[in-house]
């Protein structure tokens, strides 16, 4: 069964969930990791993400259109001090990585 593995931030904890890709149903989860246990870079990335108005879902939509495919992975990366969304898209038989800098990320 294909699944999505998703991390969410809620109540100062990182929650890990497993979601059935076909039905969208929650099929599993793991104990939460306190935000305080993340390293400084990860906490900084989360703070920057909270300060920008665009979300990962927006980046996925843009990447799928740009690469003519379906996103299979997405997350945050920091390159040269800038926070970017990194989305992996499957297009035909190829995997394409799309890097998007959210508007306003340069100032963070």
Distances (CA, A) of 83 to 22, 75, 88: 31, 10, 16
pLDDT confidence of residue 108: 46
Chain segment 83-106, per-residue pLDDT in tens: 889 999 999 999 999 999 877 655
Backbone angles phi, psi at 19, to 5 degrees: -125, 130
> What is the rounded CA–CA span in Å between residue 36 and residue 30?
17
Chain segment 30-81, per-residue pLDDT in tens: 778 898 899 998 888 788 777 777 788 899 999 999 999 999 998 888 888 7
In this predicted structure, the answer to whether residue 2 has a pLDDT above a threshold of 90 is no
What token pair was written down for 42?
């990860």
Domain ranges in the chain are 1-37, 40-108
Which fold does the domain 40-108 belong to in CATH? Nuclear Transport Factor 2; Chain: A, (3.10.450)
pLDDT confidence of residue 82: 82
Q: Residue 82 belongs to what H/E stretch?
A: strand 82-91
Other CB atoms within 10 Å distance of the CB of residue 62 = 16
């Amino acid at each position: 069964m294909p699944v999505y593995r998703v991390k969410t931030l809620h109540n100062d904890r990182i929650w890990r969930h497993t979601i059935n890709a076909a039905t969208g149903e929650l099929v599993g989860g793991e104990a939460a990791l306190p935000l305080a246990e993340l390293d400084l870079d990860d906490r900084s990335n989360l703070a920057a993400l909270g300060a920008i108005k665009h979300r990962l879902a927006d980046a996925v939509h843009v990447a799928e259109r740009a690469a003519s495919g379906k996103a299979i992975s997405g997350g945050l990366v920091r390159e040269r001090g800038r926070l970017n969304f990194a989305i992996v898209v499957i297009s035909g038989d190829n995997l394409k990585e799309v890097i998007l800098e959210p508007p306003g990320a340069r100032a963070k």
